[in-house]
Structure 1
């Protein structure tokens, strides 16, 4: 999330607080907390991270259910789903700033004791999500054929992809409202409600998909409609929860132009930051494609397991976002530094454990995804490299969450593009010199998990060591 920005209401947070409001330069030397306090911070982190992990894991079940249901219709339908779902996931992924920005603003205001303003900012962020979602839904409906064609879809595959996109387009406002409402609740340090809603939604989605695809005979369009209806229901549920909290604290439910604009300004840097990550991933896929079929197939396996591991690390980052934002709002430098230290330790510990599992079990995990010996060997090599760098990934994910929680989005946007520039030559070198197969996958993941993540570790680590990101108060 970016720094909090001014609105028409002077009672709202300001982007550039007076110098006296900033943490002292020597805040980094805050004494270590006593053991009892350290245990308390650990409990706070885990109390937020564990439910957040459950909610993060529940979301991919939507795609898995869609794939399982549509896969029985035929190969062309499944290929169409692959194109359409990737388009949707890219769009929604770029809009994740709606959750991150809202978390930071709400957490900071809650820490400052300004509960009404915190809920008001959350409501404004949800209005923004609804507006953006409605616009994207219209674009998805109108631009579905062109978007599918741009990805290379033709013939029957393109027909099914367009059908799925148009059927699911109505759910885009719901998907983005879920992001924004989840951000509000995280800022309130409530990660259990999103878990309950996401888990229930995954079950409802499965039932609706089967009913509409087979019972109603709608085919692939039924899968898209089922997902859209589920997302709208989830959005309605979370909206009711936020509205109740807003009313209890006297916040207005009407959209405020100044508040919505503040949400836009706060979210734009995080959109740039997310775009830099997506570009790095797309560049990696492009290199894998250039190296050959074996490398590309193995890269898909490694990337899937890397993404699964990222959920655990993301959960810790989410906990850090909420706790750091709250601590800065309360002007509690010692607590913020303590959260930073403990979250980093948890992140690196999780990275070590996940790295050992992924790297050490690569030879046993790879065969689960196919029978081609060359692909399995290449995937095992890539997983070994991932395992080696996973502790550093844990460090990066947590620091990313800390700086997002501090509202340091502008810095993250700037260094996101820097790290992309640093990574690009390494990726292109792999494309030119690496061979297809195990060596190619190993070198490609050494570039992504090593060079790219190291660049992110350095840029976020240097920032976290200082105090410029620690803007105190609301």
Structure 2
């Protein structure tokens, strides 16, 4: 394996295609999960929505074991130091395992209070969410190990291995989910068991590849410490995301079972679309990091606007597809007329935010690849705390329904769009060399 001699659109497309398949696998499984559970009833679907939101909160550390590792490994790769790039993956995996076990302990201890906070204490939705979450949280170490593995493999631009491993793990779980939920009669618990199984299989596959690729598996404190420094801003940024999304889930749950169920459908579709659009961002992380590691500032800037254009086109395409599926898509997830009606309330907001979201997700990858995580932290906090959360709370106070909740999400995207376009037009993010923002010094 050698470092790239140059950066071109063909390579960017190849990385985007690989990232697309990896990123699409997990949300596609979650969509299957949502559809399977949705036909159990609004109580179970609402419980899945609350439990999944809580899982999202606990996996915020995955932001730095994945994205932080990609940017650091990519800089070493661009400088021709593949050994150091793989070493970043080893240290990220140690962090993933240790943090994952700690999260499992905390999740089991606080499962009751946390689900009650989101769904209301003693409600049917809260009981279902706690039941699902107590099993699903056992998969957190596996989740983080998979994220760390994806991070370093993307950094060294290995595109095939992550696709194969993620598709195997999620494919097995997608087959197991309906069998466990319906055939085995486990109901909502079957969904959680299938989740944990997928995460365990995926972690085992990624660890096996790391063992074959690394010259040493020992923890190295200076690299671990440097990854934690990079991770600080990424975790704060991810926490701001979760403040916004948890606020939305809590408000939707308080409007009723049909509203939280419809919100879960819309949110899963939004997350699926976001992760698919993130394929451009993942490619940008790797290639911008490699370009700056090789001190090619011009290539990094050109890459930024290329992926931004692709993100815009893809966002518009998804808006058209979901618009055509106005009636058919919600019906895939639920037989409840009330839930379908609520889905149609949020649908216009969902469609409107997608083009800008495509640009935002692409530029996220550019700035993470450049190590400009301090700016990303700040703009995300401003958007989440200053726009999204207040609008969602206003929706609760004035009983605006899901339209108010999703107006908040649209504002969250809009604030980030303006800030990130202006940042990319400037030059402060263009810092070249392995010893700049992503070094282990």
Hey, what does 1:401 align to over in structure 2? Answer: 365
Q: Using a 3 Å threshold, how does the CA distance of structure 1 residues 300 and 119 change in structure 2: closer, same or farther?
A: closer
Listed as ranges, the gaps of 5+ residues in structure 2 are 1-5, 435-441
SS at match of 1:231: helix
For residue 261 of structure 1, report the CA deviation from its aligned partner: 1.5
- Structural mapping, 1:31-42, within 5 Å: 41-42=8-9
DSSP-derived class of the 1:386 partner: helix
From 424, 428, 431, give the equivalent of 1:464: 424
Alignment coverage as a number of residue pairs: 427
2:84 is equivalent to residue 120 of structure 1? no
Tell whether the 8 Å contact from 1:212 to 1:226 is kept in structure 2 after alignment. Answer: yes
3-state SS of the aligned residue for 1:59? helix
Unmatched segments (≥5 aa) in structure 1:
1-36
**In structure 1, what is the equivalent of residue 196 of structure 2?**
228
Q: Distance in 2 between matches of 1:293 and 1:145?
A: 19
Spell out, residue by residue over 1:102-150, the C-alpha distance to the aligned partner (whole angstroms, 9 max, x if none).
0110011111112222111221111111110111122234444444454
**How far has the Cα of 1:456 moved from its partner?**
0.3
Quickly say closer, same or farther: Cα 1:322–1:77, change in 2 above 3 A: same
Q: Which residue of 2 aligns with 1:6?
A: none
Instruction: Name the CA distance, whole Å, in 2 between partners of 1:222 and 1:295.
Output: 24
Q: Which secondary structure state, in structure 1, belongs to the residue aligned with residue 219 of structure 2?
A: coil
Q: Equivalent of 1:355, from 294, 316, 319?
A: 319
Task: After superposition, give the CA deviation of every residue in 1:167-186 in whole Å (9 maximum; x if it has no partner).
Answer: 44443211110011111111
- In the alignment, the residues of structure 1 paired with residue 364 and residue 296 of structure 2 have an alpha-carbon distance, to the nearest angstrom, of 20
Q: Which moved more, 1:419-428 or 1:46-55?
A: 419-428
Greater shift in the superposed pair: 167-176 or 66-75: 66-75
Aligned residue for 1:20?
Answer: none
Give yes or no for contact 2:39–2:335 (8 Å, CA) kept in 1: no
Pair 1:446–1:65, CA change in 2 (3 A): closer
Residues 153 and 193 (structure 1 numbering): CA distance in 2 closer, same or farther, change over 3 Å? farther
Q: For residue 435 of structure 1, report the CA deviation from its aligned partner.
A: 4.4
Question: Given the two structures, how large is their TM-score scaled by the length of structure 1?
Answer: 0.78
CA distance in 1, matches of 2:257, 2:213: 52
Work out which of the two has the higher radius of gyration on C-alpha atoms and give 1 or 2.
1
The superposition leaves residues 302-328 of structure 1 with CA deviations (integer Å, 9 ceiling, x where unpaired) of 333322321221111111111111111
Within 5 Å, which residues of 2 pair with 1:144-223?
144-151=111-118, 152=120, 154=122, 164-206=132-174
Identify the residue that residue 47 of structure 1 maps to in structure 2: 14
Contact 2:115 2:129 (C-alpha < 8 Å) held by counterparts: yes
Is the 1:138–1:169 Cα contact (8 Å) retained in structure 2?
no
Looking at structure 2, the residues matched to 269 and 404 of structure 1 have their Cα atoms a distance apart, in angstroms, of: 11
Distance change in 2, residues 1:281/1:357 (3 Å): same
2:49/2:261 contact within 8 Å kept: no
3-state DSSP of counterpart to 2:301 = helix
Mapped to 1, the partners of 2:195 and 2:253 lie a distance apart of 30
Residue 465 of structure 1: how far off its partner (Å): 1.3
Contact 2:66–2:152 (Cα < 8 Å) also in 1: yes
RMSD value, Cα = 3.5
Structure 1 CA distance for aligned equivalents of residues 249 and 126 of structure 2: 22
Matched, 1:254 2:215: no
* Partner Cα distance (1:234, 1:379) in 2: 33
Q: The residue matched to 1:362 in structure 2 has which SS?
A: coil
Q: Which residue is equivalent to 1:455?
A: 415
- Residues in 2 aligned to 1:432 and 1:210: alpha-carbon distance in whole angstroms: 39
CA deviation map 1:233-262 (0-9, x unaligned): 211211221232223xxxx21011221121
Q: CA deviation at 1:267?
A: 0.9
**Which segment drifts farther, 334-343 or 374-383?**
374-383
Matching of residues 323-338 of structure 1 within 5 Å: 323-338=287-302
Question: SS in structure 2 opposite 1:468?
Answer: coil
2:439: which partner in 1? none
The equivalent position to 2:351 in structure 1, one of 387, 399, 412, is 387
Superposed CA offset, 1:378-418 (max 9, x none) = 64454333333322111111111111111111121122112
